Amino acid sequence: MRDHTKLRAFELADEIAILTYRETRKFPKDEIYGLTSQMRRSAVSVPSNIVEGCARESHTEFLRFIEIAFASLRELRYQFGLSRRLGYFDENSFTGYDSKLVETEKVLGSLIRSLRSPNRLQTKQPK
């Protein structure tokens, strides 16, 4: 098993979840069961899948959960863009949130690439 707290991807995903909850508090009340709920679910899914993947024994399962976390992050990125176009984010909030999404995507993407690396897939190194 892996320690999720040692992964930069988890730290960033956790920050995104907290930011999402803070920012969606400002959304119109009629979005509580719509975009607010969807964004919160997506945001919580990212670190949750990282944690679950770290708890898995096999490399393949770990990679699969990291890929799911990345997909949830991309879903959140779309929802963020939509909420911005609807005028739910002010410019200051937009900049900070957007840069955190981009950084998290880069880190998660790098983790996925490293896990897919042929060298990582070998179970034993030749002597």
Task: Please tell me the distance from the alpha carbon of residue 102 to that of residue 113, in angstroms, as a whole number.
Answer: 16
In this structure, is residue 126 part of a structural domain? no
What pLDDT is stored for residue 120 in this prediction? 59
What pLDDT is stored for residue 90 in this prediction? 77
Tens-place pLDDT, residues 4-29: 999 999 999 999 999 999 999 999 99
Spans in the chain with pLDDT lower than 70: 119-127
Question: Which CATH number does the domain housing residue 55 bear?
Answer: 1.20.1440.60
Number of domains observed in the structure of the chain: 1
What pLDDT is stored for residue 52 in this prediction? 97
Q: Between the CA of residue 118 and those of 40, 51, 62, 70, 101, what are the distances in Å?
A: 35, 24, 16, 20, 28
Full domain range(s) for residue 110: 4-116
What pLDDT is stored for residue 100 in this prediction? 93
